[in-house]
Amino acid sequence: MAVIAYTHDKIGPNVHRIIWPNMADEDTGAIWIGYSDAIRNVQATAADFDGATVTIEGTLQATPIVSSDFQVMHDTAGVDLTFAAGTPRIEQIQEGAIALRPNAGSAGSASVDITIILVETQRGRN
């Protein structure tokens, strides 16, 4: 049960990539604060989720942010953004949250190794 730091790089003039590597069961990703009007896509990868589930959460709350501020984000079809074994995919995040984080549930094992990749494209910026 750890807070996993992210790495961040700018991969285009208006595009940021945020990666939370090596998440295990019950880990939470460090909070990423971005632009609320950004287009965001997210992907979860793992050799074996081993029963773990990762949910993408967000909030409109400004600092200070506490865990109870976060709500489950949704894909463009309105489905909860939750990743588990057998569901490798890339999804666009429907909501325009200010702060985001991945949250690994408690159904898996501590030996899982999940990587979450978020790509954020800022609209109308040069």
Confidence at residue 85, expressed as pLDDT on a 0 to 100 scale: 75
Pick the closest to residue 42 from 9, 66, 27, 20 (CA basis): 20
Residue 124 lies in a domain: no
Residue 106 lies in a domain: yes
CA gap 55, 64 in Å, rounded: 22
- pLDDT tens sequence for the chain (126 residues): 899 999 999 998 889 999 999 898 889 999 999 887 889 999 998 877 777 889 999 999 877 888 899 999 999 999 999 988 766 789 999 999 999 999 987 666 666 788 999 999 987 655
Q: Is-contact 106 25, C-beta < 8 A?
A: yes
Residue 123 lies in a domain: no
| CATH number (domain holding residue 22) | 2.60.120
Residue 122 lies in a domain: no
Residue 17 lies in a domain: yes
- State how many domains the chain has: 1
User: Dihedral of the CA atoms 80, 82, 86, 89 (nearest 10)?
Assistant: 80
Confidence at residue 87, expressed as pLDDT on a 0 to 100 scale: 67
Confidence at residue 45, expressed as pLDDT on a 0 to 100 scale: 86
Residue 74 lies in a domain: yes
Domain that holds residue 41: 3-117
Average pLDDT, the chain: 88
Residue 43 lies in a domain: yes
Confidence (pTM): 0.89
Residue 83 lies in a domain: yes
